[in-house]
Amino acid sequence: MKNDPFNFRISSSPTRPKRHNRDKAQQEFDVADLVNDGPFGQPLAGDETEQQSPPDEKLRQAYFWIVNYAVISPYYDIEYNTHTPQPFTFGGSRAELRLPTDQSYSSFILLPLLTFATQRKCLFIGGPGRGKTASALLMGLLAGDDSKTVRRNMLHGHPQMTVADLLGNPLPKDLMQAEDEADIRISWRSWLKQRVKIIDEYNRIPTRTQSALLSVLGDNYAEMFNQIYECPPAAWYLTANDDQGGGTYPVIEALKDRIDVVVQALTFNPRFLDELLMRVEQNIDPTGFFPEDLHFSTAEMEQMQAEIKAIKLPDTLRRRLEYFVSQFEFSEFSGDSFEYQSKDTSRLAGVPRHFLAQLESGRDRLADLGCQTTNGLSVRSLMSLIIYAKALAYFRGNSAVSLEDITQIIPFVLHSHLHQDPDAPLFADTDYKTFLSDKIGWLRYLFKESNLAFDLQGLNNHDSVAELKAQLDQGLEQVSERECQARLQKIEQLLTSLSQSNKLSGVIHSDALTLKYMHQRYSNYLRWLQSR
Amino acid sequence: MTPQWYETELLKPLLASFKHWPTEDQEQLAQYGQTLGETLLQYGWLQSEQQALLQQIFLTILPRWLASHPEQAPSLISQLLNTLARFPTITSKQNLLQRFEQCLPTAENTGNTLLVLSWLNGLAQYRTTAIEVLQQQPELAATLGFSSTQALHNPWWQGDQLQLKTTPVEVGSMSWLGGRFDDLPWIEYSNEQVIINAGARRWQLFVDAFGTHLHPLPTTELHEQPCDDDLSQFTLQLIQFNRYLRAGDRVKQVLELPHSYLLSFKTSYRLLIIPKQGNRL
Using alpha carbons, select from A122, A146, A148, A145 the residue that is nearest to residue A135.
A122
Q: What ipTM does the predicted assembly reach? A: 0.79
pLDDT mean over A232-241? 90
Band (pLDDT 50/70/90 cuts) for residue B18 is: very high
Report chain A's mean pLDDT, rounded to a whole number. 83
Judge whether residue A100 has pLDDT over 80. yes
**Distance between terminal CA atoms of chain A?**
79
Provide, as residue numbers in chain A, all residues whose Cβ is less than 8 Å from the Cβ of B114.
31, 34-35
A38: nearest CA partner in chain B? B82
One-letter amino acid of B101: E
Confidence of residue B280 (pLDDT cuts 50, 70, 90): low
A219-236: burial string, b at 16+ Cβ within 10 Å, e else: eeebebbebebebeebbb
Q: List, for residues A329-350, the tens digit of each pLDDT value.
A: 888 888 888 888 888 888 888 8
- Chain B: residue nearest A35 by CA? B79
Is the CB of residue A30 less than 8 Å away from at least one CB of chain B? yes
Nearest one of B97, B127, B209 to B162, comparing CA atoms: B209
Among the ranges given (A200-214, A349-363, B66-80), the one the predictor scored with the smallest mean pLDDT: A349-363
**Predicted pLDDT of residue A49:** 40
- Identify from B39, B78, B194 which residue to disrupt to test chain A contact, counting A C-beta atoms within 10 A and taking the largest count: B78
Interchain CB distance below 8 Å, A37 and B81: no
Chain B residue numbers with beta carbons less than 8 Å from the beta carbon of A22 are: 191
At B15, the pLDDT band (50, 70, 90 cuts) reads very high
Is the pLDDT reported for residue A24 higher than 50? Answer: no
The dihedral sign for the CA sequence B46, B47, B53, B56: positive
Q: What is the mean pLDDT of residues A235-240?
A: 92
Average pLDDT, whole number, for chain B? Answer: 84
What chain A residue is nearest to B128 in terms of C-alpha separation?
A29
Residues of chain B neighbouring A43 (CB-CB closer than 8 A): 32, 35, 74-75, 77-78
What's the confidence (pLDDT) of residue A20?
40
Q: Which residues of chain B are within 8 Å of residue A29 when distances are taken between CB atoms?
A: 125-126, 128-129
* pLDDT-derived band at B63, boundaries 50, 70, 90: very high
pLDDT at A123: 92
How far does A493 lie from chain B, in Å, by closest CA?
30
Query: Is the pLDDT reported for residue B114 higher than 90?
Result: yes
Smallest Cα distance from A498 to chain B, Å: 33
C-alpha pair distances (Å), A344 with each of A111, A376, A377, A442: 29, 8, 10, 22
Q: Give yes or no for residue B100 having a pLDDT over 90.
A: yes
Instruction: Indicate the pLDDT class of residue A442, thresholds 50, 70 and 90.
Output: very high
**Which among B36, B77, B83 is the nearest to A34, CB-wise?**
B83
Dist CA A436 CA A442 (whole Å)? 8
Alpha-carbon distance B234 to nearest alpha carbon in chain A (angstroms): 31
The reported pLDDT for the residue numbered B234 is 67
In this structure, chain A runs to a length of 532
Residues in chain B: 281
> Quick count: other Cβ atoms within 10 Å of Cβ A94?
8
Q: What is the rounded CA–CA span in Å between residue A153 and residue B7?
A: 58
**Alpha-carbon span A403 to A313, nearest angstrom:** 10
Smallest CA–CA separation between A48 and chain B, in Å? 11
Cα–Cα separations (whole angstroms), residue A493 to A46, A499, A509, A512: 61, 10, 16, 12
Query: Is the separation of the CB atoms in A522 and A488 below 8 Å?
Result: yes
Q: What is the DSSP string of chain B?
A: --HHHIIIIIIHHHHHTTTTS-HHHHHHHHHHHHHHHHHHHHTTTTSGGGHHHHHIIIIIIHHHHHTT-TTTHHHHHHHHHHHHTT--SHHHHHHHHHHHHHT---TTTHHHHHHHHHHHTT-GGGHHHHHHHHHH-HHHHHHTT-S-SGGGGSTTB--TTT-B--S-EEEE-SSSTTSS-SS--EEEEETTEEEEEETTEEEEEEEETTEEEEEEE---SPPPPPPPP--HHHHHHHHHH-TTS-TT--EEEEEE-SSEEEEEESS-SEEEEEE-BTTB-
pLDDT at B17 over 70: yes
The whole-number pLDDT of residue A487 equals 93
Partner-chain contact B39 A37, CB within 8 Å: no
Contacts of B115 in chain A (CB under 8 A): 30-31, 34-35
Please tell me the distance from the alpha carbon of residue A120 to that of residue A109, in angstroms, as a whole number.
15
B153: chain A residues, CB-CB within 8 Å: none
**Cβ-Cβ contacts under 8 Å, A306 against chain B:** none
Contact list in B for residue A38 (CB cut-off 8 A) is 78, 81-83, 85-86
Query: A118 vs A477, which has greater pLDDT?
Result: A118
Average pLDDT over residues A150-173: 89
Binning pLDDT at 50, 70 and 90, where does residue A21 land? very low
Q: Which residue has the higher pLDDT, B174 or A130?
A: A130
Q: Is the pLDDT of residue A91 over 90?
A: no
Q: How confident is the model at residue A86 (pLDDT cuts 50, 70, 90)?
A: confident
Give the confidence band of A464 by pLDDT, cuts at 50, 70, 90: confident
Closest Cα in chain B to A34: B83
Among the partner residues A22, A39, A45, nearest to B39 by beta-carbon distance: A39
Strands A155-156 and A196-200, by their bridges, are: parallel
Contact check, Cβ <8 Å, A44/B85: no
Q: How far is it, in rounded angstroms, from Cα A396 to Cα A84?
A: 19
The predicted structure's pLDDT at residue B132:
87
Subunit contact A46:B82, Cβ cutoff 8 A = no
Residue burial A462-484, b: 16+ Cβ < 10 Å; e: rest: ebbbbebeeebeeebeebeeeeb
Min mean pLDDT across A326-335, A388-397, B70-79 is at A326-335
pLDDT at A489: 93
In this complex, do A43 and B35 lie within 8 Å of one another by their Cβ atoms? yes
Reply yes or no on whether the pLDDT at A48 is more than 50.
Answer: no
- Alpha-helical (H) ranges within A335-438 are 343-349, 353-359, 379-395, 403-414
Nearest CB neighbour to A45, from listed B71, B123, B204: B71
Instruction: Say yes or no for a CB contact (<8 Å) between A42 and B75.
Output: yes
Q: Which of A21, A26, A29 to mutate to test the interface with B (most CBs of B within 10 A)?
A: A29
**What pLDDT was estimated at residue A483?**
92
Q: Report the C-alpha gap between A370 and A421 in whole angstroms.
A: 10
CA distance B254 to B265: 9
* Contact call for residues B100 and B117 (beta carbons, < 8 A): yes
Is B68 a residue whose pLDDT tops 70? yes
Between CA A511 and CA B17 the distance in angstroms is: 67
Torsion of CA B122, B128, B132, B138, to 10 degrees: 30
pLDDT at B218 over 80: no
Q: In this model, does residue A2 exceed pLDDT 50?
A: no
pLDDT of A50 over the 60 cut: no
Is A128 an interface residue toward B (CB < 8 Å)?
no
**Predicted confidence (pLDDT) at residue A524 exceeds the cutoff of 80:** yes
Residues of A in contact with B35 (CB under 8 A): 43
Q: Nearest by CB to B75, which of A25, A34, A46? A: A46
Q: What is the pLDDT of residue B233?
A: 66
pLDDT, tens digit, 9 for 90 and up, residues B246-256? 667 778 888 88
> Looking at chain A, which residue has its C-alpha nearest residue B115?
A31
| Shortest Cα–Cα distance, B233 to chain A (Å) | 33
Q: What is the pLDDT of residue A351?
A: 81
Burial degree of B19 (CB within 10 A; 0-12, 13-18, 19+): exposed
Of these ranges, A222-226, B9-13, B273-277, the one predicted with the greatest mean pLDDT is B9-13
Phi, psi values for residue A313, rounded to 5°: -110, 105
Where is A184: in which H helix or E strand?
none
User: pLDDT tier at B11 (50, 70, 90 boundaries)?
Assistant: very high
Percent of chain A predicted with pLDDT > 90: 23
**In Å, how far from its chain's centre is CA A504?**
30
Count of other CB atoms within 10 angstroms of residue A531: 6
The Cα angle at residue B160 between residues B154 and B166, in degrees rounded to 5: 50
Chain B neighbors of A34, CB-CB under 8 A: 82-83, 86, 111, 114-115, 118, 123, 126
pLDDT tens profile A417-436: 898 888 888 888 888 888 88
Tell me what the mean pLDDT of segment A81-103 comes to.
80
The minimal CB distance from B72 to the residues A26, A30, A45 is found for: A45
Q: Does A306 touch chain B (CB under 8 A)?
A: no
Secondary structure class of A181 (helix, strand, coil):
helix
Provide the 10 A C-beta neighbour count for residue A243.
Answer: 20
pLDDT value of residue A384: 93
A12: pLDDT strictly greater than 60: no
Q: Which of residues 44-83 of A touch B (CB under 8 A)?
A: 44-46
Backbone angles phi and psi of A519, in degrees to 5: -60, -40
B111:A35 CB<8 A: yes
Average pLDDT over residues B123-134: 90
CA dist B202 and A25 (Å) reads 12
Taking phi first (over 0 means left), then psi (-120 to 50 degrees means alpha), and beta for anything else, what does residue A68 get?
A: alpha
Please give the pLDDT value at position B189: 84
Confidence check: pLDDT of A130 > 50: yes
Q: Do residues A129 and A265 make contact, with C-beta atoms less than 8 angstroms apart?
A: no
